[in-house]
Amino acid sequence: MRTKYCGNIRIIHVNKTVKLCGWVHKIRNFSQFIFVDMRDCTGLVQVIFELKNKKIFKKALNLRNEFCIQVSGTVKKREEKNKNIKISTGEIEILADVLNILNVSKSLPLNYKQKNNDESRLKYRYLDLRSFNILENLKIRNQITYLIRTFMTKKNFLDIETPILTKSTPEGARDYLVPSRNHYGKFYALPQSPQLFKQMLMIAGIDRYYQIVKCFRDEDLRSDRQPEFTQIDIEASFMNAQKIRNLVEKLIKKIWLKIINFNLPKFPKISFYESMRKYGSDKPDLRNPIEIIDVSDILKDEKFRLFFNLDSKKNNRIALLCISNATDISRKKIDIYTQYIKKFNAKKLFYIKIIENNIRHTKIYSSIKNILDKVILKKIIEKSKAKNGDILFLIADEEYVVNKSLGMLRLKLGIDFNITKKNSWKPVWIVNFPMFMKDIKGNFSSTHHPFTAVKNKDIKKLKNSPQISISDSYDLVINGYEVGGGSVRIHDVNMQKKVFDIIGIKKSVQKEKFGFLIEALQYGAPPHAGIALGLDRIVMLLTNSNNIRDVIAFPKTTSASCLMTDSPSIIDGSILQELAIKFSKNKL
């Protein structure tokens, strides 16, 4: 039906006859001529219908935006004054001699010339995908997956598919469940990850596995998260954590170089605890150089504890941020920041403005001036390396509150004061996560997942002091986004059972949910490690998209619904009966 794509015609094609297929993007009628911008997946080209060709001109008068058409014509060079440098076909135009209207179109519920609301875009996603921005994102996504497959194949990894219908296991988020018709009253679960299957592949001797795979998690959504998502799943036998990180680093560097022509530097590595202390997060955005500075040792006297109303029985912290050249910040703006940190349970935000500081004299404006003597003030200034014109923002509270509040304030101040270098890339490995987290009841849960190995295979520490055990795990963070997480896996059956015991999984449940894994580990399981990278987030970063929906063809809303197909939907009662499902009248 066509000999060329619209966006691929160039000056070298002048005087050649071409046949094009696509959509009417824009129409301009100048009486003697009708100009049509014709669009396909490669771009735009201008088509001219002349009045002297009356038959085709009359037909062109019926054209409307988004009609699907076929055009045959001759490529002509535009006059210099009519060239359009904004498009790749701007040097030429098509003089039409044949027009076929393949299909008409109603007026679109979307307007490509203005910003449409999210609800309309998702309801008419097939029309939204006609926009060049979304289309370009999907093309880049395709390039990235091609690069991944090429890279992994060259590294001798096998692309192996794992099951979508699998067993429900207690791994963190809720499972999406699928009822079985053949096994009355039983359910499959959609995989949150292929974790256990890829470990089975290592036990099977596959050695090196990868997969670009759909995963599913029934959890609350946000701008960088969807209920179904795609991850680059990698696992290898006889490789330690450092080798996995080196492999992934090479892959990410290759992707960045090929897609945006950017050479990423060597990825730094910092521990989980250092990241929390310095940045208040295990996903630090290192484009922002501001660090959290601890002053607990300076303000340790009883009078400070009383002033800040700190409970001595709790794990408290006093820390601050130093912002350069910001003493002109208004009290009103400080009040806004105070309200902001209250979202993260901080009670109050204190400040110290360094007006003048030298050997003989120190002048400050501060909300805690009355409790700061010269010695204490000097120590704070020295530790924070504050200069004249700087402002210090201080919070005193429980450690987790201080970390979260100053971490979020750090990000906000980085944007407000143009400190964050937006056009840069700052990857970082976060390592040495705690093996377990403890809830308010004292119960342990795995920080990553229960198949993560303890650092240095320290089973003695794992048994005696699980709360201080360090996992052999690692997360890859780029510009504040976690784009991947992995670990060395447990390959010793006794250690695996011990981890299950620590996180409170009963023996009966271990056998029911993980019996196949426990048995498999007893047949010469090799040491193995792996990682899962979020493809959607990587594409989101490389396309500079604000929302992960813009890099997925058919995404869900934040309530996990599809407006286009109106799913999830109500199922006929007879089908539910066949599946042994009955709804309670009272919603839980």
Q: Domain count for the chain, please give it.
A: 3
Alpha-carbon distance of 577 to 588, in angstroms, equals 21
Average pLDDT, the chain: 93
Closest CA to 134 of 479, 555, 424, 559: 555
Last residue of a domain, one of 83, 103, 123: 103
Is 482 within any annotated ligand binding site? yes
Q: Are residues 27 and 78 in the same domain?
A: yes
| Domain CATH number, residue 57 | 2.40.50.140
The pLDDT tens digits for 478-497 are 999 999 999 999 999 999 99
Is 536 within any annotated ligand binding site? yes
- CB under 8 Å to 127, separation ≥6 — which residues? 108, 109, 110
* Residue 83 confidence (pLDDT): 94
Q: Are residues 246 and 208 in the same domain?
A: yes
Domain range for 32 is 6-103
Q: Are residues 21 and 75 in the same domain?
A: yes
Q: Are residues 520 and 402 in the same domain?
A: no
Alpha-carbon distance of 25 to 35, in angstroms, equals 11
Alpha-carbon distance of 341 to 347, in angstroms, equals 8
Q: Counting Cβ atoms within 10 Å, is residue 205 exposed (0-12), middle (13-18) or buried (19+)?
A: exposed
**Does residue 144 register a pLDDT over 80?**
yes
The pLDDT tens digits for 411-466 are 999 999 999 999 999 999 999 999 999 888 888 889 989 999 998 877 777 888 88
Is 537 within any annotated ligand binding site? yes
Alpha-carbon distance of 110 to 125, in angstroms, equals 10
Q: Are residues 10 and 87 in the same domain?
A: yes
Assess contact for 413 and 290: CB atoms under 8 A: yes
How far apart, in Å, are the Cα atoms of 288 and each of 165, 375, 410, 424, 484?
A: 43, 31, 8, 10, 21
Specify if 429 maps to a domain. no
Mean pLDDT (whole number) for 513-535: 96
Alpha-carbon distance of 91 to 60, in angstroms, equals 23
Q: Are residues 263 and 192 in the same domain?
A: yes
Q: Are residues 139 and 266 in the same domain?
A: yes
* Residue 584 confidence (pLDDT): 76
Backbone angles phi, psi at 444, to 5 degrees: -90, 150
How far apart, in Å, are the Cα atoms of 574 and each of 177, 182, 187?
A: 19, 15, 18
Classify strands 481-488 and 208-216 as parallel, antiparallel or unpaired: unpaired
Is 220 within any annotated ligand binding site? no
Backbone angles phi, psi at 476, to 5 degrees: -105, 120
Alpha-carbon distance of 547 to 543, in angstroms, equals 10
Is 218 within any annotated ligand binding site? yes
* Residue 587 confidence (pLDDT): 61
Specify if 91 maps to a domain. yes
Is 219 within any annotated ligand binding site? yes
Alpha-carbon distance of 310 to 316, in angstroms, equals 7
| Domain CATH number, residue 156 | 3.30.930.10
Specify if 112 maps to a domain. no
Predicted TM-score (pTM) of this structure: 0.92
Residue 171: pLDDT band by 50, 70, 90 thresholds?
low
Is 217 within any annotated ligand binding site? yes
Is 302 within any annotated ligand binding site? no
Alpha-carbon distance of 489 to 504, in angstroms, equals 19
Is 515 within any annotated ligand binding site? no
